[in-house]
Structure 1
Amino acid sequence: MVIAGTVASALLVAVFPVFSPLAAQTERQTLSGSRVALYNLVGEVRIERGRGRSVEFEITRRGADARQLRIETGDVRGIPTLRVIYPDDQIVYDRGGERSWGSTDSRIRSDGTWGGDNGWRDGRRVRISSRGNGLEAWADIRVLVPDGQKFDANLLVGELKAYDVDADLSLDAASARITAERVQGNLDIDNGSGSIVVRDTRGTSLRLDTGSGGVTFDRVKADDCSIDTGSGSVTGIGAACERLDIDIGSGGVRLAETSAGSISVDAGSGGVTLDLRQSPRSVSVESGSGSVTITVPSNFGATVDIETGSGGITTDFPITTNRFARRELHGTIGDGRGRLRVETGSGGVRLLRGN
């Protein structure tokens, strides 16, 4: 059935349920609109490039109680949305010992959604556990997203993966492993706890946020790159960002072969290593504890302000100093066009000459 109208109400649905006591239960559905959303409490979501004009879903219900899951579609706050409804407050996500991660609690609205502005207090409280009593059911979903689409994937527990997609993606999870590779488009990832891996992506905006868990971003290109993690290391190679901002509570930062116009790193604790392949306009690094090593091209020029609470300062560059103390260095390198500022509570600072 096709319902014509505005973006918010454009909706196409086709259902082909398969029920077998021995096989997984699978169905397909399709939603149309310039922006489409998915909500699924538990399971694996894999996003791939679609060839049609609509977003296609292949839903496989799993677990001993898979029959009890319901699939609903319709507009939610003006966006065509597919929701997997779990009719229990206790959900067991047990994949034969493959994972043992404890439990996650959240509030779920009656329409199967959660979160949003001031929305985390709405709905009933649901607990998802790796073992114990409750509804043993989850949904694994393959999503085919056409070029130019905007798609939001919301998952509480499991895995989120996106491969070979030419679309703007928003990936949100409470506790999951999230991977995005070969994505052409803006990418916004928010993970409560769990790792984030992004490779070979290109877009105007890249935002990666995790409460706890490591972040890896390799060969990404964007105007704005923002990375925020409460705890966990940040590593990357071959990133090209006009503006690169990294905020990390605890954990090291190690970037190799990086190009950026401006770089800002704020690390509560952990060492910072930056290997920069082009001369940036500005570099700002603050570290509560941990050494800082910055490698810049040989033609780098900047005003320099380096301070360390404890630890030495070394540089490969001749610096015209205007103020120098035991743990402070202020001056100019080359033409002084750029700006370099480093401050660390404890740990040495090294400024190295690259190629």
Structure 2
Amino acid sequence: MLRVRPSLGLMVVGALGAQLAPGHSALEAQAPERHTVSGQAVAIYNLVGRVTVSGGSGSDVAVEVSRRGADGDQLQIQTGSIENHDRRWESLRVVYPADRIVAPDLGSRSRTRLKVRSDGTFGDAGRTRGEEITIAGSGRGMRASADLAITIPEGKRVGVYLAVGEVTVSNVNGDLEVDVARASVSASDVTGSLNVDTGSGEVDIRRVEGDLMVDTGSGGITIVGMRGDRFSAETGSGGVEGSTIAAQSVDAETGSGDIMLRDVTTPRASIETGSGNVTLGLTRATDVLTIETGSGDVEIRMPGDLSAQIDFETGSGEIETDFPVTVRRHSRDHVRGQIGDGAGRIQIETGSGDVRLLRN
């Protein structure tokens, strides 16, 4: 039913304890070792620990390594050139000479398995290559981890790879890729492109000036403040929440979870969820907007000067708008028509749920 309102003007086992516990006390740190890596593209690899990334001066990427655990002195710090993403990267790799690593701060029920190549690299397109190792919070194994403090000069391209733990990024001016298997990721005040890929873990991003891409297998995504050409947020299971986003294209997708984006400025947006509600607030009318949800309500708010061709369909639910619509097709579950001169295009489809297009 259309109602027009009066015009208002990798494999992860063990869900608990995946991140390092507060205090990080069970594995006492040794004195930090300082390393530098030269080159325009730099990749840093570590299996377990906390990683902090911040901006700095100079010409080289600096990495302070703090070994932890009874077997921390067995960790090997390797450097050199590697190939990744079809290009050469200079690298620093923390190599764990064991197939089972124990870090009690992860929690006794934590266990993560992944493939690690002989040079200490993992992730990316080669996730299925290498020998399988287990990272656990209890039991037998090499008792070691490493905390890294990475300082990045302006204009570098840096990839940070961590299997288990947490990554914190702040005040970086350059292009950054963060790839983790099971870890939380937070980032703030990044100027440059930011690409975050997690197998499992929460992602919190604030104030990015550049393209932003976030992909999680499981975990919520929160974005506050982004301006660039491209915004993309995708999670297999978990919600996406964002505000103050300005991009030439906005894409958000969840397998299961709500999507809530407010104060969005973009000419093109695509929103999709298998199961979950969609709430979208736009500061200006889009040229193209497509929304699809298998099960969930859809609510869109746009400025009063909206002009678009609309095509709304719901398997079970109501269709409502407070914009004046010239209706071209109208049935119980499908409305096609035009608002204003029809300059843009809005297509919304939900298997089960209400559709609302309202004025800001």
**8 Å Cα contact 2:29-2:67 kept in structure 1:** no
**Shift in Å, 1:277:** 1.1
Q: How does 1:95-244 map onto structure 2 within 5 Å?
A: 95=105, 99=107, 102-117=110-125, 119-203=126-210, 205-244=211-250
What's 1:257 paired with? Answer: 263
Describe the SS at the equivalent of 2:276: coil
**8 Å Cα contact 1:25-1:62 kept in structure 2:** no
How far apart in 1 are the matches of 2:36 and 2:169? 18
**8 Å Cα contact 2:107-2:138 kept in structure 1:** no
Alignment of 1:90 onto 2:100: yes
RCO higher in structure (CA 8 A, sep ≥6) = 2
**Shift in Å, 1:81:** 0.5
**8 Å Cα contact 1:308-1:345 kept in structure 2:** yes
What's 2:54 paired with? Answer: 48
How far apart in 2 are the matches of 1:25 and 1:114? 27
Describe the SS at the equivalent of 1:228: strand
Describe the SS at the equivalent of 2:114: strand
Instruction: Give CA-to-partner distance per residue, 1:17-44, whole Å, 9 cap, x none.
Output: xxxx975242000011010010101111
How far apart in 2 are the matches of 1:333 and 1:245? 24
Describe the SS at the equivalent of 2:73: helix
Runs of 4 or more consecutive aligned structure 1 residues displaced over 6 Å after TM superposition? none
What's 1:79 paired with? Answer: 89
Change in Cα spacing, 1:99 to 1:297, as seen in structure 2 (3 Å) is: farther
Superposition CA RMSD, Å: 1.4
Number of residue-to-residue matches in the alignment: 330
What's 1:279 paired with? Answer: 285
**Shift in Å, 1:197:** 1.0
**Shift in Å, 1:282:** 1.3
Alignment of 1:57 onto 2:63: yes
**8 Å Cα contact 2:51-2:166 kept in structure 1:** yes
How far apart in 2 are the matches of 1:236 and 1:123? 37
Instruction: Give CA-to-partner distance per residue, 1:62-82, whole Å, 9 cap, x none.
Output: 122211111111111231100
**8 Å Cα contact 1:25-1:67 kept in structure 2:** no
Match of residue 344, structure 1, among 333, 337, 350: 350
**Shift in Å, 1:93:** 1.7
Structure 1 unaligned residues grouped into runs of 5+:
1-20
% of aligned pairs identical? 43
Q: Normalising by the residue count of structure 1, what TM-score does the alignment of the two structures yield?
A: 0.90
**8 Å Cα contact 1:25-1:66 kept in structure 2:** no
Q: Normalising by the residue count of structure 2, what TM-score does the alignment of the two structures yield?
A: 0.89
Describe the SS at the equivalent of 2:179: strand
Structure 2 unaligned residues grouped into runs of 5+:
1-26
**Shift in Å, 1:144:** 0.4
How far apart in 2 are the matches of 1:313 and 1:36? 51
